Structure 1
Amino acid sequence: MQTSKTESYIDEHRLFWFRINRPEKRNAIDYDVMNDLEHALGEAQANPLVRAFIITGAGEQSFCSGGDLSVFHSLYTKEDAYAMLSRMGAILFKLMTLPLPTYALINGTAIGGGCEIASACDQRWAMPHARMGFVQGDLGITTGWGGASMLFEKVPSPQALQMLNSANIYTAVEAERLGFIQKVLEKSEVGSMVVESLVESSAVLRSYKQALITKWEQTNLKERMLAEIEQCAYLWEQDEHHMAVARFLQSKKK
């Protein structure tokens, strides 16, 4: 059952929209949002008429700020962290391998796990004011939901490593130059441009996506993501990470 923390619907063009609706939390991910996203992905896959899946955030400020640290900071051990990380990683694997075209509409800031969600999508379109970056390194951890493995499938390795290693935050135009973003566009253009980018037949669209999924199955994408998640869980329980999270949460109180 969908909660008030998300919104989803199918529009007149048979596009399935999923919106994270927590603007007061910068559209951060908690367990309810995880469950809603998994449910929406199941609905989209089961409906043969759906032509594409689009994920975005409510408001104009944030696409997704990653995991909700006010919820997940209580996870202290490697085992606790792995339970949460592998849960979201499995959901993002479903998004990555959803057998229809997927779009991340980055309508504001996308950091940390927000960029991992975007990496799971086939297309990443951003509004001009959007900012994005894999900032996990500044918290003493790596991408924890399989984001690096997915990023290496979408962006050339040198640019992907630059984004991951630096933990820098990029403008939409800078991210487009790196190959992370495919289009920078205004919000009013999104619906029409998605429609124009797709043929009418959902069967054709799903067939092409299945060919790509088959490639990922042959290169053990799921196993690579799981190994990445295990490494993040190990780093999660280290003092470096817990101290960085404490400093971050303290800065938000000022």
Structure 2
Amino acid sequence: MTETKVHTHIDEDQFFWFTINRPDKRNAIDYDVMNELISSLKQVRENHAIRAFIITGNGNQSFCSGGDLSVFHALHTKEEAYSMLSKMGEILYDLMTLPVPTVALINGTAIGGGCEIAASCDQRWAVSHAKLGFVQGRLGITTGWGGASMLMEKVPHASAIKMLSSASTYTASEAVELGFIQKAVSFFDSQSLREEFAVSSAVLRSYKKSFISKWEQSALKERMLAEIEQCSILWEQDEHHDAVKVFLENKKK
């Protein structure tokens, strides 16, 4: 890669930090970031000393704006879309079922796929000025990385359908009321994370196994892939391509 699109490190508390470093692209996801996530999740699974996985974005403007449309707008057919969507869907299933607790530190805007990434995590903390929403419907598609299936596991039914169907953006405090955000804070500090995950890696991993077992029994992966299939069907429709064209043209103005 010509630029470092991701920063990773393991801190003194044995927390693995994954920071998307594309602030000029509002920390959007491209194939390089996907591959970095695959590598990092593999490290966490293999290193039993790691106690938690933290994902965030660089800067204070964006956590993640979802897929990089300047890259993915080249995908036109259902098959092309499914190849990309299912790749990220598999990654987010791996993140959802990571054997340690996971936290999305939402340091700014989290929209579209950014909210799907957040939904795959066990907890979501957001800075007070964050704005977030599943806005995919504005582009004529549904959640494309399995986000709706994961969201249903994390918030009450009424909150999930509201967030998905409205395609609205919410403030951090509104998202707390919906049950999507667990903490709205003025800044993130390591002490709060230490207090949240105070027990050993072995204990943390044992608790996480119980949740993973539940998701395996309810066929979460299959549900996510079925959801992604539906999105890929909508992806090749004119409504989606026309909406993306308008979006990209507005960005140039």
TM superposition score normalised by structure 1? 0.98
Q: In the TM superposition, what is the alpha-carbon distance from 1:45 to its structure 2 partner?
A: 1.3
Once the two structures are superposed, what CA deviation does each residue of 1:143-184 show, in whole Å capped at 9, x if it has no partner? 000000000000001011000000000000000000000001
Distance (Å, rounded) in 2 between the aligned partners of 1:8 and 1:31: 17
Is 1:10 equivalent to 2:10 in the alignment?
yes
Distance (Å, rounded) in 2 between the aligned partners of 1:52 and 1:197: 10
Distance (Å, rounded) in 1 between the aligned partners of 2:198 and 2:120: 22
Aligned to 1:136: 136
Secondary structure of the corresponding residue to residue 187 of structure 1: coil
Kept after mapping to 1: 8 A contact 2:127/2:188: no
Distance (Å, rounded) in 1 between the aligned partners of 2:185 and 2:209: 28
Distance (Å, rounded) in 2 between the aligned partners of 1:243 and 1:51: 45
Percent sequence identity over aligned pairs: 67
Secondary structure of the corresponding residue to residue 193 of structure 1: helix
Once the two structures are superposed, what CA deviation does each residue of 1:36-79 show, in whole Å capped at 9, x if it has no partner? 01111111111111110000000000000000000000000000
Kept after mapping to 2: 8 A contact 1:106/1:127: yes
Which consecutive residues of structure 1, in runs of 5 or more, have no partner in the other structure? none
Secondary structure of the corresponding residue to residue 17 of structure 2: strand
Aligned to 2:205: 206
Is 1:226 equivalent to 2:253 in the alignment?
no
Kept after mapping to 2: 8 A contact 1:2/1:36: no
Larger mean Cα displacement after TM superposition, 242-251 or 198-207: 198-207
Once the two structures are superposed, what CA deviation does each residue of 1:80-127 show, in whole Å capped at 9, x if it has no partner? 000000000000000000010000000000000000000000000000
Distance (Å, rounded) in 2 between the aligned partners of 1:182 and 1:2: 36
Q: In the TM superposition, what is the alpha-carbon distance from 1:187 to its structure 2 partner?
A: 2.3
Which amino acid is 1:218 matched to? Q
Q: How many residues align?
A: 253
Aligned to 2:244: 245
Distance (Å, rounded) in 2 between the aligned partners of 1:152 and 1:2: 38
Kept after mapping to 2: 8 A contact 1:199/1:205: no
Secondary structure of the corresponding residue to residue 104 of structure 1: strand
Q: Which runs of 4+ in 1 moved over 3 A?
A: none
Note the aligned Cα RMSD (angstroms).
1.1
1:33-44 → structure 2 map (5 Å cutoff): 33-44=33-44
Aligned to 1:119: 119
Distance (Å, rounded) in 2 between the aligned partners of 1:100 and 1:76: 37
Change (3 A) 1:230 1:188: closer
Q: In the TM superposition, what is the alpha-carbon distance from 1:198 to its structure 2 partner?
A: 1.2
Distance (Å, rounded) in 2 between the aligned partners of 1:186 and 1:36: 29
Kept after mapping to 2: 8 A contact 1:3/1:36: no
TM superposition score normalised by structure 2? 0.98
Change (3 A) 1:87 1:2: farther
Is 1:62 equivalent to 2:62 in the alignment?
yes
Which consecutive residues of structure 2, in runs of 5 or more, have no partner in the other structure? none
Secondary structure of the corresponding residue to residue 117 of structure 1: helix
Distance (Å, rounded) in 2 between the aligned partners of 1:200 and 1:218: 27
1:112-191 → structure 2 map (5 Å cutoff): 112-189=112-189, 191=190
Q: In the TM superposition, what is the alpha-carbon distance from 1:188 to its structure 2 partner?
A: 4.2
Distance (Å, rounded) in 2 between the aligned partners of 1:2 and 1:58: 18
